[in-house]
Each structure stands twice: as C-alpha cells, then as structure tokens.
Amino acid sequence: MPSTHDFAALTANALEDWTLFAIRFHDKPGAGELRRQLLQAHLEWVAANAAQVRAAGSLRESPEATPVGGLWVVRAPDKAAVEALIATDPFTTGGLRAGWDIYYWSKALPQPVSF
C-alpha cells in the first residue's frame, strides 16, 4: 500500500506544466441522430488531439442505449485551456452538447491506465 507521501506525489503535478482534468459532457436530450451525424468528425478530432485528450468515451444508461454524454480525461496547463479545447470539438461546434462539468483530477495509482 502506498504511503501518504506517495499519494501526495502521485496527485501533484508540481514539476510539470500540466494538470489532469476529468470532463463530464451532457448531450442535448433526443440528440441521438445529431450525435451519429457528427461522430466521424468527432472521432477524427479526438485522434488529432490525443496528446491532450488522454481518455475519451461515451456514457450510456445501458450497453445498448443511445449515449447521453461523454467522459474525457484531459492533460492541460489550466482550466482555460480545457475550455478552449472543448470549444473546437465537432460535438460542441455542431450543437450536440447541452453542457459539461470540468473537474481537477488526481490520479491515485502510479501505473498508467490501460484497458
């Protein structure tokens, strides 16, 4: 089990010029068709911005349900940079997003996330 000191080191980015953020996106109700229309452009945008968007995916109430939003983990220097990034996403520019919540995220474990 990591010590308290280890956790402090893992959650602080004192030596880095970036911070990790978690963003929870909310789609407009009933926007499934709009999501489908924008999906390819959005996926290409995510791939082009992979240096900042470290993890991304849709959120659903059940595996077969239409997505109701999304979740990203973003590496950025500050919250303003996250907002600027979101503003260029085709899901945002195309009118899919009803809104989003941006949270500072502290990584609790040292190993990278893999699936």
Q: Which domains does the chain have, with CATH numbers?
A: 16-104 (3.30.70.1060)
Q: What pLDDT does 32 receive? A: 95
In angstroms, what CA-CA distances link 35 with 5, 8, 21, 30, 51? Answer: 44, 39, 23, 10, 24
The pLDDT tens digits for 38-62 are 999 999 999 999 999 999 999 999 9
Q: What is the pLDDT of residue 17?
A: 72
Residue 66: enclosing H or E segment and its boundaries?
none
**Strand locations in 2-68 (E):** 19-27, 53-59
pTM of the model: 0.82
Q: Binning pLDDT at 50, 70 and 90, where does residue 13 land? A: low
CA distances from 52 to 71, 81, 104, 113 (A): 14, 10, 14, 15
73-92 pLDDT, tens digit per residue, is 999 999 999 999 999 999 99
Q: Average model confidence (pLDDT) for the chain?
A: 89
